[in-house]
Amino acid sequence: MKEETLNIKPMETRGFRQFNLKKKLRISESLIQGLLFFAGILSIFVTVAIVYELGKEALLFFNDPDVTLGKFFGTTKWQPGIGQYGIWALVSATLTTSSIAILIALPLGLASAVYLSEYATQKMRSILKPILEILAGIPTVVYGYFALLFVTPILKTIFKDGIQVYNMLSAGLVMGIMILPLIASMSEDALSAVPRALREGAYAMGATKLETSLQVVVPAALSGIGAAVIVGISRAVGETMIVAVAAGAGPNFSFNLLDAAETMTGHIARISGGDLSYNSIDYTSLFAIALMLFLVTLVLNLISQWVVNKFREQYE
Amino acid sequence: MENNNYAIETNDLSIHYGSFTAVKGVNMKVERQKITAIIGPSGCGKSTLLRAFNRMNDFVPSCHVTGELLLDNQNLYSKDIDPVEVRRKIGMVFQKPNPFPKSIYENIAWGARINGFKGKMDELVEQSLRSAALWDEVKDKLQQSAYALSGGQQQRLCIARTIAIQPEIILMDEPASALDPISTLRIEELMQELKKNYTIIIVTHNMQQAARASDYTAMMMIDDQRAGGVIEFDATKTIFTRPGDKRTEDYVTGRFG
């Protein structure tokens, strides 16, 4: 072996600041820490403020001697002006349209996520994903008129006179299309995050692509997919324009998909758009509906979280 | 030559990524129920070659293979071969333990189930875990997640799930490189047990491991076009005591690599 003589000169040390072990105040560090803390606390503060405002006004509603919790939860007609306070008239429409939406968006969204993450070539994915994300950027009022003017006429030819011009089916279907890209995109991220080693392990056991995708990759990504579903449900429950345009204007306790019915959000949008005096029962009732909306979203989120925790399979 | 002593043979096997040849002209006859080690410096194509044996390279889009890989006189790279079936026959254990995010029991049962196993699952699971020298450590917690196990236990679980589908050949890609010395020793002991029933091909960086554990050794090295190839293939004893190639001698004596 040939010996090489290395000739290393001492490194230039001038130009550095002087070495000093003393503790020093770093203003930019403390500043950025304060800024980040403020950003974090802001969203919490806003949430608390909203809940406070909702609660305060809703309390006025429930303090009305005419309103009882029994009436609120126990009856099915909503007409605060004439003393009917049955919230189910609105909740039924919200649950119905949201269920249709999730039933459409979950299987289709998951299927496209599996396709994008497991089957599509790199090129295909780079074309399809942006298109999917454009779908997510369409304003919901456009979806609303898409439902009313395109989907409803098609449903009309299928169900003939059985279906009303405004109906929950059309609104629910289009709402499903609206949240589909959201669920697909979030699920795809979750699937892509599953380590390649897991897929290789499955393939090395003589698993087919389908077995690997559905029985190893999807279960491993379930907590991410669950998060996608939770966000999807929240979007559907809170969605306003589509249902306001296409589902109907007027509370109607019905789970019949072909009926017109007004959701909680649709009702709030319609009533608050008109002339309302601050002390009227109509005004305070809106806050009660909003609080109920909050509650429904919360309960649905808790249920999906529970389902996810029960079935998810954790890797590392 | 029917019923020969060779589990698998390669015939001028080359592996290409696009126009780049990563492994060139490999001719190897791997004997049944022996341990064959593949050694060589980093980047010489050991893992690439190993993954060609069970067609794992199929998943690399630009990868294609020329030459022949013969199992029972059938070329595994001919057009009418089903790669899924190939991987059932030729199992693989990876560098980093990669148990499925399922229970210990399911890790073993899953592979058997997808391969159409109709027998008694409990027995198969116990038998596989016993063969992988893991049964005593996990028999009371079969329903727990595989991720609760230590790295060495996880690797033995991966060996157990591979055994459960009854392959003929087990490929091991540096199976102990992520493990501590005690776990490594256990894996090596296990390999000696397994070779009574299986043919094992192992890629290793660890020269002592190759010397200790294998019967045959293939020495790989890259040429001036950066294509890897087997420069010497012989009984392990010969490779480590009287290598025929100067480069092998330099490598196994630790002069480089």
CB–CB of B39/B218 below 8 Å? yes
Residue A24: strand, helix, or coil:
coil
Averaged pLDDT, B189-210: 92
Asked whether the beta carbons of residue B61 and residue A203 sit closer than 8 angstroms, the reply is: no
Q: What is the C-alpha to C-alpha distance for residues B116 and B165, in angstroms, rounded to an integer?
A: 10
Q: What is the C-alpha to C-alpha distance for residues B233 and B9, in angstroms, rounded to an integer?
A: 13
Please tell me the CATH code under which domain A78-311 is placed.
1.10.3720.10
Q: CB-CB: which of B84, B87, B98 is closest to A197?
A: B98
Burial class (CB in 10 A: 0-12, 13-18, 19+), A5: exposed
One-character DSSP codes across B184-225: HHHHHHHHHHHTTT-EEEEE-S-HHHHHHH-SEEEEEEE-TT
Q: What is the C-alpha to C-alpha distance for residues B18 and A93, in angstroms, rounded to an integer?
A: 57
Interface of B with A in 57-86 (CB under 8 A): 59, 61, 84-85
Confidence of residue B3 (pLDDT cuts 50, 70, 90): low
CB–CB of A100/A172 below 8 Å? yes
Q: How far is CA A288 from CA A94, A263, A302, B185, in A?
A: 15, 14, 21, 68
pLDDT at A210: 95
pLDDT at B257: 59
Q: What is the C-alpha to C-alpha distance for residues A195 and B96, in angstroms, rounded to an integer?
A: 12
Asked whether the beta carbons of residue B84 and residue A316 sit closer than 8 angstroms, the reply is: no
> Which residues partner with B221 through β-bridges?
B229
Q: What is the C-alpha to C-alpha distance for residues A210 and A217, in angstroms, rounded to an integer?
A: 10
pLDDT at A5: 66
Q: What is the C-alpha to C-alpha distance for residues B122 and B128, in angstroms, rounded to an integer?
A: 10
CB–CB of B218/B37 below 8 Å? yes
Q: What is the C-alpha to C-alpha distance for residues A287 and A293, in angstroms, rounded to an integer?
A: 10
Q: What is the C-alpha to C-alpha distance for residues A301 and A234, in angstroms, rounded to an integer?
A: 8
Query: Which of A284-288, B33-37, B251-255 is most confident?
Result: B33-37
Q: Is B88 near chain A, with CB under 8 Å?
A: yes
pLDDT at A3: 54
Which contiguous run of DSSP H or E holds residue A35?
helix A27-63
ipTM summary value: 0.92
pLDDT at A315: 65
Residues with Cβ within 8 Å of residue B251, at least 6 apart in sequence: B39, B40, B41, B207, B219, B221, B257
Q: What is the C-alpha to C-alpha distance for residues A78 and A96, in angstroms, rounded to an integer?
A: 17
Judged against a pLDDT cut of 80, whether residue B256 lies above it is answered with: no
Supply the Cα-derived Rg of chain A in whole angstroms: 27
Q: What is the C-alpha to C-alpha distance for residues B223 and B229, in angstroms, rounded to an integer?
A: 7
The mean predicted confidence, pLDDT, of chain B is: 92
Q: What is the dihedral of CA B124, B128, B130, B135, to 10 degrees?
A: -80
For chain A, the structural domain boundaries read: 78-311
Q: Would you report the helix, strand and coil content of chain A in percent, each value rounded to 5?
A: 70, 0, 30
CB–CB of A247/A97 below 8 Å? yes
Judged against a pLDDT cut of 80, whether residue B44 lies above it is answered with: yes
Could you count the other beta carbons within 10 Å of the beta carbon of residue B172?
A: 27
CB–CB of A250/A260 below 8 Å? yes
Of A38-42, B151-155, B179-183, give the lowest mean pLDDT range: B179-183
CA A21, A24, A29, A30 torsion-angle sign:
positive
Interface of A with B in 182-221 (CB under 8 A): 195, 197-198, 200-208, 211, 215-216, 219-220
Residue B211 is encoded by which pair of tokens? Answer: 């010397």
**Strands B169-173, B90-93: parallel, antiparallel or unpaired by DSSP?**
parallel
| Residue showing tokens 């010996």 | A3
Asked whether the beta carbons of residue B84 and residue A208 sit closer than 8 angstroms, the reply is: yes
pLDDT in tens, chain A (316 residues): 455 666 777 777 677 888 888 888 899 999 999 999 999 999 999 989 999 999 999 999 998 888 888 888 988 899 888 888 899 999 999 999 999 999 999 999 999 999 999 999 989 999 998 898 888 889 999 999 999 999 999 999 999 888 889 999 999 999 999 999 999 999 999 999 999 999 999 999 999 999 999 999 999 998 889 889 888 999 999 999 999 999 988 889 989 989 999 999 999 999 888 777 777 888 889 999 999 998 888 888 888 888 888 777 666 5
CB–CB of B158/B97 below 8 Å? yes
pLDDT at B2: 46
Q: What is the C-alpha to C-alpha distance for residues B53 and B201, in angstroms, rounded to an integer?
A: 10
In chain B, the residue whose alpha carbon lies closest to the alpha carbon of A123 is B61
Averaged pLDDT, B144-158: 93
Residue A183: strand, helix, or coil:
helix
- Rounded to 5 degrees, φ, ψ at B228 are -80, 155
Interface test with A, best of B87, B113, B161 (most A CBs within 10 A): B87
> Which residues partner with B90 through β-bridges?
B169
Residue B33 identity (one-letter amino acid)? Q
Asked whether the beta carbons of residue A207 and residue B111 sit closer than 8 angstroms, the reply is: yes
CB–CB of A221/A190 below 8 Å? yes
Q: What is the C-alpha to C-alpha distance for residues B135 and B124, in angstroms, rounded to an integer?
A: 12
CA atoms within 13 A on the CB side of B206: 19
Q: What is the C-alpha to C-alpha distance for residues B85 and B90, in angstroms, rounded to an integer?
A: 9
Could you count the other beta carbons within 10 Å of the beta carbon of residue B125?
A: 24
